[in-house]
Amino acid sequence: GYPGQYPGAAPGGPRKKRGGLVALIAAVALVAGVAGGAVGVAVTDNGDTVSSANDHRSTTVPAGNTQKNEAAPGSVAAIAQKALPSTVTIKAQSSTESGTGTGFVFDTEGHILTNNHVVAPAANGGKLTVKFADGSSYTASVLGRAEGYDVAVVKLDNPPKDKLSPLPLGDSDKVNVGDATIAIGAPYGLESTVTTGIVSAKDRPVASGDETGAQASYMNALQTDASINPGNSGGPLLDGTGAVIGINSAIQSNSSGSGRAGSIGLGFAIPINQAKWVADTLIKTGRPVYAKLDVLRNDDYKGDGAQIQTNAVQGTPAVTPGGAADKAGLKPGDVITKLGGSPIENGPALVSKIWTHKPGETVDVEYVRDGKTGTTKVTLGERTGDN
């Protein structure tokens, strides 16, 4: 399969305790303290202060006038300086759980785009706070959630008009493997962290879930080796021009002995073309819309492709009578090997690929029945809301 784990709300996912963050910050503070002492001032026994810089003659070579605080146009520094003010840290809290994730300014109306699993703790009457890079915080509400896509839209209760500079959206369909990527987020609560990498792969089917192992969402992801950790969830993945090409959402993790997830260079982002369509739908109606094939898939099937169940499950037909697959002539037990020209390796990959299409679209389907390959065209159905 294609397992993925939510980077989640820091630390370690939306349901983890905050102990890991304390340890990480303590370690950082210790290093910073040591460095500060080495370049600071020494206090003598009589209280006089002596500059440590005078204790030794410097043998370093100055760089002259080549170093500037001004970021070079088009550089990572320039992109980060422009994007950071529009990237926010989101804190979601309920009576039983809390977490920290990331989001970014979607429009000038006060809508913030993020992951569903970031805001889930505050979805039913919890508290939601959005913090900008300058330290200012605002209360917010969940406008709409799409659990299957793992996309959510947050609305600031009192939008600060002077801070609502939407990040430009790129075209994720035109991304190339090897293109530069920049991720911004709050890994383990370390706000406004910038990391870089490349697009490692496209169209990567990923079924992702929380640390309990439950698979809750599917995406045909952009894969990147930019460092993404718990707390990066919902943050922007930018291209080399500073345009958003994806929402950082899941990682393949080498969970440590403590159970906390960590980056191993396998990060996955929801392509922005899909995320934008989902966000626009949530803003308009508050409810997600999904394309559907109207079949029950057999995830116990071990061969290549996605098999339709051979029989009804708890009274539900394997192929819905009159549904999209039934109208296209698909039968129980058929193994779908291609959809829309893309190879389908398993059940989760089938869902990921279906959801790259909109309801009503007609797609080519290749399948195997009784050892023989067949083809048909399916007009996808529509489902509104999460089950």
CB 149 within 8 Å of CB 273:
no
Q: What is the pLDDT of residue 5?
A: 73
pLDDT at position 48 over 60: no
**Taking the domains of the chain in order of start, what are their residue ranges?**
1-33+73-287, 289-384
Query: Is residue 111 annotated as part of the catalytic site, yes or no?
Result: no
The residue annotated as part of the active site, out of 98, 150, 208, 352, is: 150
Instruction: Kindly give the pairing relationship between strand 3-5 and strand 193-209.
Output: parallel
294 belongs to the catalytic site: no
DSSP 121: G
State yes or no: pLDDT of 50 exceeds 50: no
Rounded mean pLDDT of 36-44? 33
Active-site position among 117, 172, 208, 263:
117
Structure confidence at residue 253 as a pLDDT band (50, 70, 90): confident
**Predicted confidence (pLDDT) per residue in 172-195, tens digit:** 999 999 999 999 999 999 999 999
Residue 150 a catalytic site member: yes
- pLDDT over threshold 80, residue 304: yes
- Give me the mean pLDDT over the 2-9 stretch: 60
> Is the pLDDT assigned to residue 12 strictly greater than 90?
no
How would residue 258 be classed by pLDDT, with cut points 50, 70 and 90?
low
The whole-angstrom separation of Cα 267 and Cα 7 is: 9
- The answer, yes or no, to whether residue 133 has pLDDT greater than 80, is yes
Among 172, 233, 249, 263, the active-site one is 233
Q: Which class for 202: exposed (0-12), middle (13-18), buried (19 or more C-beta within 10 A)?
A: middle
What is the third-level CATH fold of 289-384?
Pdz3 Domain (2.30.42)
Q: Return the exposure string of 144-158: e unless at least 16 CB atoms fall within 10 Å of the residue's CB, then b.
A: bbbbbbbbbbbbbee
What dotted CATH number matches 1-33+73-287?
Answer: 2.40.10.120
What is the distance between the alpha carbons of residues 328 and 179, in angstroms, rounded to a whole number? Answer: 39
Residue-level pLDDT at 63: 62
Share of residues in the chain with pLDDT > 70 (%): 80
